A = this chain, B = another copy of it.
Amino acid sequence: MSAEQSPDPAEEPARRGRPRSEASRLKVLTAAARLMVEGGFEHLTVEGIAAEAGVAKQTVYRWWGSKADVVVETIADGHLPTPVEGPEDTGDLRADVRAWLEEIFGAVELGDTSRLVRALLAALASASETAAAINAALIEPIQEGLRERFVLEAQRRPGALPSDPGFLADTVGASVLLHIMLGDPLEQQWMQQLLDLVAPAGSRLD
């Protein structure tokens, strides 16, 4: 899936026929992004995408096998506001993760993000063959962002983390995603406990 293009351009020297229109590709992806934000994955239709993009339906089917495929590429290409970056680094892991959580749940409450996450999970659930792709597009970035911050912390303060940074990122990411999926608000107690998980409180007061 990831290695369709040859590293050596000499191997694919002269594709014949009219080349694929990059303009059409972009029109499809931006249209999909637009409609995704408006109506979610469930109300997304291939016909709708084609119409919004001003493109023939066949052009969509020529390059993508399903709307899930379109959505995946839409995200991978960054046409949808990927819900999150990892936490900032101010030196205080606990505060950083706290701010990150508040930012995410804030975005969710504001609207689009929740629908987006739900849409992506729907895409994931409905197209098992694209599970890996959506995982790569949605979930891994979040967990990777977390992991980077955790690794930083581990380097800075060896022994400060209660367990492996990767595992922590995996766990915290899963927890956050599921709560977003269920539309849960950010509860103070839950957040405290999550913070304790990644950065045992010691004597701090939050």
Contacts and interface: CB of A to CB of B under 8 A. Distances in A.
A199 interface: no
Q: How extensive is the interface on chain A, given as a class?
A: 35 or more
Nearest to A171: B175
A118 B131 CA distance: 10
Interface in A42-73: 42
Main secondary structure of the interface of A (DSSP, over half): helix
A194 B197 CA distance: 12
A182 B126 contact: no
Contact of A124 (B135, B162, B167, B181): B181
Interface string A23-56: 0000000000000000001100000000000000
Contacts of A183: 128, 131
Contacts of A167: 190, 193-194
A154 to B, nearest CB: 14
Interface string A126-138: 1110011001000
A125 B125 contact: yes
A164 B177 contact: no
Contacts of A118: 125, 128
Contact of A197 (B42, B135, B163): B163
Contact of A139 (B128, B177, B182): B182
B131 A121 contact: no
Nearest to A135: B182
Interface in A163-186: 163-164, 167, 170-171, 173-175, 177-179, 181-183
